[in-house]
Chain A
Amino acid sequence: MLFFNKIIYFYYREYKLNLSGFQDILTNIIFFFLSIFIFIFSIGPDKETISNIGLGIVWTLLLLSSTLSLRKFYQDDFESGNLLILHLNGFSFGFIAILKTLSHFFFVQVPFLISLPIASILLNIASDKLIYLFSSFAIGSLILSCLGSISSSMNLMNQKNFLLGSVIVMMLSIPVIIFSVGVINFEENFNSLINILFGILLIVFAINPWAGGLCLKLSLENS
């Protein structure tokens, strides 16, 4: 079988898996909206305050709800042995990390794009700022996927303390939060901030196959 066909079959399988487990993604989105409600209840329904801090809330909750689904990232494939089968089919571990990262981006993060306009209505964000939110989300969510790949591959053999993976993602994603909220709040230097965000994406995308692939290899060797 051609290498390219293998990639297509890999994504077909991911699509099937995510379609059968679609309630997981929906639960993520429900978590996102419920957290927005809880935030607003705890702050109070003052329109001025909410529109000031709304973008920060959206980004924080996107980060938190993307850490919720970290368990699914490699763990299922690792336990069922599919990672080993993928490797035996000629994918290197680094390439598996890239493929899984992109699949996580397409099937878990992109559904949040639908929920962003609704969240912006709820949080009283001006509609002309929505384009900034979308562009920063498109880059930032891919960064979050890469970080999720790194941390969940680190924690494959960790039986005691799975929350460590979420902590690692949250710690590494601090620059993402800084610059992606800055993109929206300081529209006059939109270009420079989005370039910095894109630079972070390139760095993380380069680190991901190395760190993630090495951790996958180590976990499979020692399992």
Chain B
Amino acid sequence: MDYVLNFHWKIVDLMFLINPNKFNQVADYIFRPILVLSILLFSLGLLFSFYISPNDYQQGSSVRIMYVHVPSAWLALLTYGIMTLYSIAALAFKIPFGFIFNTAVAPIGAIFTLICIISGSLWGKPMWGTWWVWDARLTSVAILFIIYLIIIFINLSFENRILREKIVAIFILVGSVNLPIIKFSVDWWNTLHQPATISKLSKPSIDPSMLTPLIIMTLAFMMIGLAIAILRIKTEIISRKSHLN
């Protein structure tokens, strides 16, 4: 009960987004709720997506792959977008927390992209009849995966930390050209991959019985990504404080 009553007003401050010390304090406060929330949301989402949501009239039961595929794809893009914002902040306004964030979060984005590609090809085999198509959306997501891998490799192969983190930030900015290509590839080219079903401006063309598990799974993926990100950022801060790299 103490935990709930001692509300951390630093969350409202938002300075914890760019200040490592405040981030540590806030992260200690919100880490356990996020972990509990991610477990709850994950069990609820899996329950919804495996038992409660209906079968598709065409795809049958394999539509349930979507509840993993779409959230991981969104989060792969979201992670890269946040990394781009932090790179701009780090290079332009000299905020070193951006470098910490980039180093810590790149593997998470890579794993989300890998989940997206693998689940997509598992879905594609029964539906399209092939594991892989040379389609604009699929190719651009594969390039996103390679970009994440190159970011990790740059982090591994440079000796000098100050040089390395800046070069990673520059590379992220150069590679962010890929983000709008991924987003609009289904609109610009005539692709096999279906266009976006859920958009902000119009009413979604997905039934509420399928939209509910999708949103719950997205929140669950977000929470679990956030939990891992908090752990990795805290580790990175500690290793920088003790000059381990």
B166 contact set on A, CB distance < 8 A: 214, 218
B143 contact set on A, CB distance < 8 A: 171, 174
A and B contact pairs by CB, cutoff 8 A, 6 listed: A157-B159, A174-B143, A207-B174, A218-B163, A218-B166, A218-B167
Q: Which residue from chain A places its CB closest to the CB of B164 in the assembled complex?
A: A157
A158 contact set on B, CB distance < 8 A: 157-158
Q: Smallest CB–CB gap between B146 and chain A, Å? A: 6
State whether A167 and B150 are in contact (beta carbons under 8 Å apart), knowing that A157-B158, A158-B157 are contacts in the complex. yes
Find out whether the CB atom of B174 lies under 8 angstroms from the CB atom of A172.
Answer: yes
State whether A161 and B174 are in contact (beta carbons under 8 Å apart), knowing that A154-B167, A174-B143, A219-B163 are contacts in the complex. no
B147 contact set on A, CB distance < 8 A: 171
A139 at the interface (CB under 8 A from B): no
A164 at the interface (CB under 8 A from B): yes
Q: How many residues of B are counted as interface, with CB atoms below 8 angstroms from the partner's CB atoms?
A: 21
A5 at the interface (CB under 8 A from B): no
B153 contact set on A, CB distance < 8 A: 161, 164
Find out whether the CB atom of A168 lies under 8 angstroms from the CB atom of B163.
Answer: no
Q: Smallest CB–CB gap between B73 and chain A, Å? A: 20
B162 at the interface (CB under 8 A from A): yes
A211 at the interface (CB under 8 A from B): yes
State whether A211 and B170 are in contact (beta carbons under 8 Å apart), knowing that A164-B153, A164-B157 are contacts in the complex. yes
Find out whether the CB atom of A150 lies under 8 angstroms from the CB atom of B157.
Answer: no
A214 contact set on B, CB distance < 8 A: 166, 170
Given contact pairs A160-B157, A161-B156, enumerate 14 new A-B contacts (beta carbons under 8 Å): A150-B174, A154-B170, A157-B158, A158-B157, A158-B158, A160-B159, A171-B143, A171-B150, A211-B173, A214-B166, A215-B167, A218-B166, A219-B163, A222-B160
Q: Smallest CB–CB gap between A164 and chain B, Å? A: 6
Q: Which residue from chain A places its CB closest to the CB of B91 in the assembled complex?
A: A214
Docked Cα-Cα span, A45 to B121, in Å, equals 35
